[in-house]
Structure 1
């Protein structure tokens, strides 16, 4: 009772038009859950593995692009080299022509001697006694005096002659500081007297010389054998000739 069609199917002989299900699940379809027999197969088919987009199916693999180069560091700003320091010129010193005609005992003369480091040739300090010669090899300066201590001649040595350092500073009379004959001519003009080169039987060869009479003193310039390089300047009073050129 209840489902006559089902009963009729159950009592219908085999092979009479319908196939009788062998198992209940075949009759009503597969149900979810573990299958008879204890199978551990998954209920659903596993999802296919997705491939990376970097390697699509059916397309050739392209090589990876090289990494972008690192940015170059900013160029350093050029640094200016420090400017060269100007040449230091010796400080202005007292005019040596003011010594001419004055005695070494005067305070002003002794002050100038200390300024240039002048000492008697014998090595005694200025003021300890009279001397006929005072010198400073480091300054390139030499004085000559008479028996009474009066200064008669001032020598300025250039180019290290006779063991003196080259004189540094302005040449008296506004002659500048360039120890060359052409420079003296440019600043002092044509000399009043000139001399040709000559040979001393004991001291050797000498170049030409020039002499200017300036305000209050005379300037005698002795040159080398090349006729241009200044070797020594001799300063005297206008009425006196240089003791030795």
Structure 2
């Protein structure tokens, strides 16, 4: 008995050897190791993302010489969010000016509500966000002097840089006499960057 006990304990030292499953299955003791496919998987095609279209708004020159009480003028002003400095919307009461700081647009009107001037601000002056969009008259969208010359040709009038004792330095200016309105472009002292455009009816 002692010999058998010692032999049994010796077998226990090395553990039980693997053998066929008790169910009698012929499957291998160890499943073969699967190797991943070395070829990179092709990701599914990504559908093209369409570029967001910039909102197309009405030509601001259409309000020049017209009353703020006209339906078409009020519609255009609503497109740009123009309101009086007191916050009154267009048509509720007459005002000498209408502002849309978030659009970079400003209108001036006479005492009878006739629109006399449209200002487009490009340089963040007086709290206006820079105007973004088509510059009237086919001047394009690039707020630079060379770009305006390329689109509109040589100006009908030009002015040199000047200094205002209260407002500081101003760059040169150009003016084009376009069909139906005049376009005055004021540039910054660097002579190239557009600061403001003033649109007026002919004869003003």
Q: TM-score, normalised by structure 1?
A: 0.65
Is 1:224 the counterpart of 2:188? The answer is yes
From 166, 170, 186, the counterpart of 1:202: 166
C-alpha deviation, 1:73, in angstroms: 3.0
Give the direction of change, closer, same or farther, for the CA distance of 1:72–1:111 in structure 2 (3 Å limit).
Answer: closer
- Which residue among 44, 51, 60 is the counterpart of 1:96? 60
* Cα shift readout 1:14-70 (whole Å, capped 9, x = no counterpart): xxxxxxxxxxxxxxxxxxxxxxxxxxxxxxxxxxxxxxxxxxxxxxxxxxxxxxx98
Q: Which residue of 1 aligns with 2:105?
A: 141
Check the 8 A contact 1:157/1:233 in 2, yes or no.
Answer: yes
Determine if contact 1:133/1:145 at 8 Å carries over to the other structure.
yes
Q: In structure 2, how many angstroms separate the alpha carbons of the residues matched to 1:196 and 1:172?
A: 24
CA RMSD of aligned residues (A): 2.0
* Residue number in structure 1 paired with 2:148: 184
Secondary structure of the 1:120 match is coil
Structure 2 stretches of 5 or more lacking a match?
1-32
Q: In the alignment, which of 79, 86, 100 is matched to residue 115 of structure 1? A: 79
**Whole-angstrom distance in 1 between the partners of 2:167 and 2:176:** 25
Deviation track 1:129-172 (CA, whole Å, cap 9, x = no partner) reads 11000010011100000111100000001132221111111000
Number of equivalences: 172
What CA distance in whole angstroms lies between the structure 2 residues aligned with 1:87 and 1:114? 26
C-alpha distance in structure 1 between counterparts of 2:61 and 2:82, whole Å: 15
CA contact (8 A) 1:90 1:168 kept: no
**Whole-Å Cα distance in 1 between the matches of residues 44 and 131 of structure 2?**
36
Mapping 1:9-88, distance limit 5 Å: 73-77=37-41, 79=43, 85=49, 87-88=51-52
What does residue 167 of structure 1 align with? Answer: 131
Q: Could you tell me the TM-score, scaled by structure 2's length?
A: 0.78
Shift of the alpha carbon at 1:72?
5.8
Structure of greater relative contact order (alpha carbons < 8 Å, 6+ residues apart): 2
**Is the partner of 2:126 in helix, strand or coil?**
helix
Equivalent residue, structure 2, for 1:57: none
Q: Point out where structure 1 has 5 or more consecutive residues left out of the alignment.
A: 1-68, 241-245
SS at match of 1:119: coil
Displacement of 1:102: 0.4
